[in-house]
Chain A
Amino acid sequence: MSLQTDKRDFNTRTSDGLDDLFMRSAVGSAQDSLKTRRLSAATALGDWEQWRTLGQQIRQHTLKHLDYYLEQLAINVEDKGGHVYFAKTKEEASSYIRDIIVQKKAKKIVKSKSMVTEEIEMNRVLMEAGCELIETDLGEYILQMDDWDPPSHIVAPALHKDRTQISRVFTEKLGYTGDDTPENLARFARTVLRQKFLEADVGITGCNFAIANLGAINLVTNEGNGDLTAAIPKTHIAVMGMERIVPTLEEMEVLDNLLCRSAVGQKLTSYITVMGPSAAGETDGPEEFHLVVVDNGRSDILGSEFGEALQCIRCGACLNVCPVYRHIGGHAYGSIYPGPIGAVITPLLGGYDDYKELPFASSLCGACTDVCPVKIPLHEQLILHRQKIVKEHRTGAAERLQMKTAGRLLSSQALFGKALRFANPASRLISRHGRIVRGPGLIRGWINTRDLSQPVRQRDSFRVWLEQRKGGSDQ
């Protein structure tokens, strides 16, 4: 999978989402439950706003000195016998990983959930090289077994599937014979995947935060698959976006608290692990450890007006409060990064050609900004995107013409007055019972989901009525 999960156009994708009633109800109830849990875990910490400010300060300090901390990280990883590779592009990153695997003649790979490996299309590259690659996060495993169905949520990737669909996938692909209770489905996956862990040559993980002064990475998980991936195979390859780094364990601790509480409403998830190359005398863990640091467009973001987007710690809290995500679902974004943060970073990583609609998939209510644990001004960044998209004339000729016409009408008192006078007769043919029911372009977009009243007759308009009243009171 790459950044792009669906090549069809945005309107088709959103219509699909809106028509999928199961998905909409699943997303709705997931949002409600995660919102409540987040709130109670945030309240339990006390002074949540101060913690958010601290999270923001930590992220901004680290990003401002990113070259320094990355260098410190690399030196410390290498001191412990690990290897660090700095990849400018996604191709460089996935080729480096493929080369290690080919060189080791490794065939069996276990993987724990990682967004950046999706971004660099690592799975495709490794499978083309003839490897058996298994996603071990339960949600990701379900998606892989269902012919690599794309994820629809950052922390709950299989949110759009119900237990019946999952049970059917397990039955068809793996010969599962049990019922469709989540517990039995999970136990079945445990048994199948346990064997995969024990046989694997290489384990690949993402990285929540690298710790610069320790030369290690931090994984935040609940299932235990990330730890098994890094404990059993003799080689561990960790992949990180270059911004996912903290100076020390002290900053990690603050961010992990913000992450766990914001993502799933837990004080800490079951497993928070700091790990690196195996130390002398230790008998498990990786004998060979590689850390791949990926730029892939991030340095351009760093120097731009969207720099704050790199503060993101991938908690998904902004998805869980977004009214647009609630209705169109994760797949409609066509990106591995959905929701408000996805609408900000996807166009930055993938360009406006494919993703110019995403910044408009927002009501700009600002709920995302309020909930962000590291205070990214998400809705302001969406507005910034919109301004750039409009300036670059990417909105389509018809929309530009309509906007231009509207602009002229609204900026001239004389024209506006005339327009008001003719609005009612002009709209007669497309109206029924006082409502506009047909229309071109922007009007159609509006009336697809909302009512639009037919403009009133000139003599019934508020201005005329006010004039007459004024006249009456003067006399």
Chain B
Amino acid sequence: MTASNRDSFLNTIASKLGRERIYDVQRPDMQDLMPGNSSSLTTGELVDILKEQCFFIHTQFIESTPEILQRTLNDLIDTNGGGAVITSGDTRFAEYGLKFAAGLVWEEAAGREQNIMRSESANTAIIFADYALAESGTIVVESRPDQGRSLHFLPAHYIAVIEKKRLVLRSTQAAADLNRRIEAGEPLGSSINFISGPSNSADIEMQLVVGVHGPLRATYVLI
């Protein structure tokens, strides 16, 4: 694509809009325009909202603590029918002292094919959420060298560990924070995933099927 091709495309747009090309635009401030954008909920209230929403998005919700997190996760892996587990290389796994039998890790050194194969062979994926959005029951994760994209989609079971301090009310807060980071020039991962429960479809007779191409089941563990 040459610059002149692009220019002719964009010039056409400008001329259809009845003006010359423009090179500076002030975008309206979203935070000012957002309706009812004042919330001061306690963490406890956010937890209640998240818990209720999980019911609607077919997601299991479990409250745990750092001390018993390993046991909680082991129990969940067993309930999922055992098998291989894949985790991201997130440092929080070490911080919380988590280790899994038959545990695989997504790591840069393993390369593309290996990482994808590991995820495909794993029965359960476990990751830590960067943000959790109470209202929609969403966790937000970013791709990194130690946390690939397919990690969230190939395994049959998906477990997201949510630290309470990561809880915010809505997507509004997460988007504003991410955009602040972008505008500050902070490099983000090439994929930012807002995940709300397991994959699903209503393409056949509008009847909901939980578990289509992505995970069949999802569990959030709050610590």
Contacts and interface: CB of A to CB of B under 8 A. Distances in A.
Interface stretch (A182-190, A367-375, A390-398): A182-190
Contact of A249 (B120, B179, B187): B179
A15 interface: no
A252 B175 contact: yes
B136 A270 contact: no
Interface stretch (A60-68, A335-343, A440-448, A454-462): A60-68
30 contacts: A29-B206, A61-B27, A70-B9, A71-B6, A86-B9, A137-B203, A138-B204, A139-B201, A159-B206, A182-B204, A182-B207, A186-B201, A194-B120, A214-B188, A223-B201, A224-B214, A231-B150, A250-B30, A256-B171, A267-B136, A268-B136, A268-B196, A270-B214, A271-B214, A273-B193, A275-B191, A283-B115, A284-B112, A303-B16, A303-B18
A271 B140 CA distance: 10
B212 A190 contact: yes
A61 B17 CA distance: 12
Interface in B150-183: 150, 152-154, 171-172, 174-176, 178-179, 182-183
A54 interface: yes
Interface in B188-223: 188-207, 209, 211-215
Interface stretch (A43-51, A119-127, A322-330): A43-51
Nearest to A243: B13
Contacts of A222: 199-201, 212
Given A156-B203, A213-B182, 13 more contacts: A68-B25, A138-B204, A190-B211, A194-B213, A197-B213, A223-B199, A227-B214, A228-B153, A248-B179, A253-B174, A268-B194, A276-B190, A279-B190
Contacts of A277: 190
Name the residue in A33, A166, A285, A295 with the highest tally of chain B Cβ atoms < 10 Å from its Cβ: A285
B182 A253 contact: no
Interface stretch (B31-39, B69-77, B79-87): B31-39
Contacts of A50: 35-36
Interface in A376-391: none
A283 B213 contact: no
B17 A282 contact: no
For chain A, give the interface size range: 35 or more
B65 interface: no
Nearest to B53: A267
Nearest to B143: A282
A66 B17 contact: yes
Interface string A423-466: 00000000000000000000000000000000000000000000
B33 A57 contact: yes
Contacts of A30: 206
